[in-house]
Each structure stands twice: as C-alpha cells, then as structure tokens.
Amino acid sequence: GLEYKEDIVSGTRSAAAGGFTSVACMPNTKPVIDNKSIVKYIIDKAGSEGSANVFPVGTITKGSKGETLSEMGELKAEGCVGFSDDGGPVSNGEIMRRALE
C-alpha cells in the first residue's frame, strides 16, 4: 500500500541514485510487515526488480497495535533483520519484556 508515495522499485532506485547499496524497509507500510508472506514479497520484489538490497524490519506486535506479539521467530527466519513498531511505542511492559527475550 501507499505506492503513490513510494514502492520498492522507486525507493531502491532513489537509494541507488544517492549512492546507497542497501536500505532497511521499516514496517510503517500498509500492510505492516507482521507476517512472513509480506516479508517474502518484499525480498522477492526487491531481488527481481530492485536497484539496492532491501532488508525488512518486522513489527514487534501484530498490526503495530502494541497488543499481541508478532511471530518474530517466523519473521526472522523469512529475512527480517530487526523489529520495531515504528512510530508507536510498545506501552505494555509485559509484551515488551517478552519481545526482548
């Protein structure tokens, strides 16, 4: 979603034009990066059409809502290099503690 702002092709093209060989894709996208099929799509699309390496950052919580942990193990296995609820805090201390374990 939000392709009118930027998509993988235009974003990596701009990054490469600026001298960047790699970028992190933060999870403030629509849909958010909270399941392995989205991670796979990003990696496949960047690999086939991108002009720079793309490293996805998954959400800490499902939907970045701060309520339920995302499947961080699956996201990492699929290729996420980090986790963030990008733009919103994880205000529940117990959820944050579990995310850091």
Predicted confidence (pLDDT) per residue in 63-76, tens digit: 999 999 999 999 99
Q: Over the range 69-89, which residues count as b (16 or more CB within 10 Å of their CB) and which as e?
A: bbebeebeebbbeebbbbeee
The token pair that represents 88 in the structure block: 């919103």
Q: What is the pTM of this model?
A: 0.92
Mean pLDDT for the stretch of residues 30-46: 97
Contacts of 12 (CB under 8 A, 6+ apart): 23, 46, 50, 51, 52, 54
Query: How many C-beta neighbours within 10 Å does residue 13 have?
Result: 16
Whether 87 has a pLDDT exceeding 80, the answer reads yes
Quick one: pLDDT band at residue 38, thresholds 50, 70, 90? very high
Segments making up each domain of the chain, as ranges: 8-100
